[in-house]
Amino acid sequence: MSMNDFIDNEVKNNNVVLFMKGTPDFPQCGFSGQVVQILDYLGVDYKGINVLADDDLREGIKTYSDWPTIPQLYVKGEFVGGCDIIREMFQAGELQTHMSDAGVEVKAAS
């Protein structure tokens, strides 16, 4: 499987996927850590994928979405944004709505 196929498979077969530096339990970058905190606060199930584990993945994810930075959040197969966008959406209450509209369960009180 090519790297692009691997990424595409992860994005399309998981409701919420976060490509990040480090893991949800141990983020290795402040920007990735911020998105982890927001997702944990909202109480959505998500899959964290550590791009530091593989150089091809780290470069491949930038090509896949034509987005030069990490973290990257995907919901229901669609790219939603990086750290700044996710934080802005969260602060505006739009991220919760986006998840709900996409059929993703938000377990925390909004």
Partner 1 sequence: MGSIEKQIRDTLSQALDPVRMEVINESHLHAGHAGGTPDGSGETHMRVRIISAKFDGVGRVQRHRMINELLKPVLDEGLHALALEPAATTDKVRW
At its nearest, how many Å lie between partner 1 and the CB of residue 81? 6
What per-residue string of b and e applies to 89-98 under the rule 16 or more CB within 10 Å gives b?
Answer: bbeeeebbeb
How many C-beta atoms surround the C-beta of residue 40 within 10 A?
12
Which residues are CB-neighbours of 82 under 8 A, at least 6 positions away?
A: 31, 67, 69, 70, 71, 72, 73
Site string for partner 1, 27-66 (x = CB under 8 A): -xxxx----------------------------------x
**47-50 and 72-75 beta bridge pairing:** unpaired
In the bound state with partner 1, the residue whose beta carbon lies nearer, of 80 and 99, is 80
Among 5, 40, 45, 84, the residue binding partner 1 under the rule CB under 8 A is 84
In the bound state with partner 1, the residue whose beta carbon lies nearer, of 45 and 92, is 92
- Total of residues contacting partner 1 (CB under 8 A): 18
Stretch that binds partner 1, among 8-16, 21-29, 42-50, 100-108 (CB under 8 A): 21-29
